Amino acid sequence: MLNRRRLLQSMATGAGAALGLPLIPQSLLAATTSSTPTTSDTTPKRVIFFMQNQGFDPATCVPKGMKNSGSLAGVELPEPISPLEPYKERLHIINGLHGKHTSPSHSAFFGALGGYRGGDGVPPSGATIDYELSKALPQTLLPHLCIGMDSIENMTTKPTLATLSASGAGQPIFMYSDPNQLYQMLYGSISSGDIRLQHEARSNVFDQIEKLAAAKGQTLPSGEQQRYGQYVRGFQDINGLRDRLSTVSGHLRKFAPEVDERYTKPEHETDWHDVLLDLGISALTSGITNTLTIGSGRGEIFGAWKGLGIDQQGHNLGHMKQPDNPIWIKIRQYNSRMLVRIMQALESVPEGSGTMMDNTLIVYTSNNADSQHTSGANWPVMLLGNLDGAFKTGCFTQLDGKRPINALYTSILRTAGVSCDRFNMSDKLAKQFDQGNGPLKEVLA
């Protein structure tokens, strides 16, 4: 039997404290009222961002002996990313971008994907690249999905958290960290048993809160009415999304992952990491979304991988040297296997004259450049896929440290059809931190 108090507590925890935080993820606030199918002459595209906390040391991804740009065909990938060896022809390793202007240190937080100054507790100063792409790419039912992986304790007590993505200044987008909540949101309408009961109960409560909020908001002062109106529209959007997902239930059944004990009785946090990834992949392959952000460590200094046999967790991991470190080899190989799972899933779905992977770009990096306590002078990035031939693959590119991560984001926006010379960087800031303009020619095909 459902416990109404527990249900309301779960909703409050997952949706944000009443009137103090956005009541629902901003990604759902941005959901459109209808799905517009892509035309026959428009190639579907999708972009995935995978952010690992604690830094990305270049020695863990740049093949030994490679000092200059060149092909990956005749070299062996470093041990931490060795699971990607069979996919070298799809891989592009980039070294020498910087993010000094983001002040990454422990983490750049929203600044990592925003390309602006970030910090712990600092609200976003603008939209992040993942959200901007979700607006530029062909319209989907859920424009943008964010999932966050952490210790089981953190994911349980804070099932949603906003640290990496934003739809605008002061408008964070929340990551889902409880796979049970995410499954209910995506597939509750086609489920049975307790999942269906939970879905219907939550839907009824959301409907009631929407009506109550709309009625009560009219009695507030004008300034509060506007703020209250945002919450009302938020509930209208989330309820609308539930309705739209239910209209394509037959389609969704083909992609919904099987629910097993990893959801309800996880032995380790990596069980939840794995099923969260399954849900993210299913959202992509079903066409619910075309922009996915994965936060391993959720953009903060925490994180745990006990399921890999790693007892250490959290901030201490950031103080360990990553090269030749067996702990970081396990974490990075786990990440790499996740990237392989994404690619294999997308390769299994036909699209146009090829597969979904042919029209996809995966961006793997860290939310604090190369290491913990970093200045951001070097920000390594790996790209997988070419977004319908837009990016070079099978190669390593060594840059000179004079272009910021914003230039890469500009490049991705350009390939998505957005006219952009500098993403989130004013001319004044560019004079100090960018010695070029426009996209990175070195990475574009």
Burial 216-229 (b: 16+ CB within 10 A, else e): ebeeeeeeeeeebe
N-term to C-term CA, the chain: 57
Burial 53-86 (b: 16+ CB within 10 A, else e): bbbbbbebbbbeeeeebeebeeeebbebbebbee
What confidence score (pLDDT) does residue 316 get? 87
CB atoms within 10 A of CB 204: 11
What confidence score (pLDDT) does residue 234 get? 52
Distance CA 11, CA 193 (A): 20
What confidence score (pLDDT) does residue 240 get? 60
Tokens of 348: 């299994």
Burial 16-44 (b: 16+ CB within 10 A, else e): beeeeebbbbbbbbbbeeebeeeeeeeeb
Positions in the chain short of pLDDT 70: 1-42, 189-242
Spatial neighbors of 165 by CB under 8 A, at least 6 apart, are: 27, 110, 113, 128, 130, 131, 144, 146, 172, 173, 175, 293
Nearest to 144 by CA among 361, 289, 299: 289
- DSSP string for 358-370: GGEEEEEEETTTT
What confidence score (pLDDT) does residue 37 get? 36
Tokens of 286: 């079903």
Distance CA 399, CA 296 (A): 26
pLDDT digits (tens, 9 = 90+) for 9-37: 333 333 332 222 333 333 333 333 333 33
What confidence score (pLDDT) does residue 201 get? 47
**354-355/350-351 β-pairing:** antiparallel
Fold of the 4-184+268-433 domain = Alkaline Phosphatase, subunit A (3.40.720)
Question: Where do runs of H (alpha helix) occur along 26-138?
Answer: 26-29, 110-114, 129-136
What confidence score (pLDDT) does residue 248 get? 78
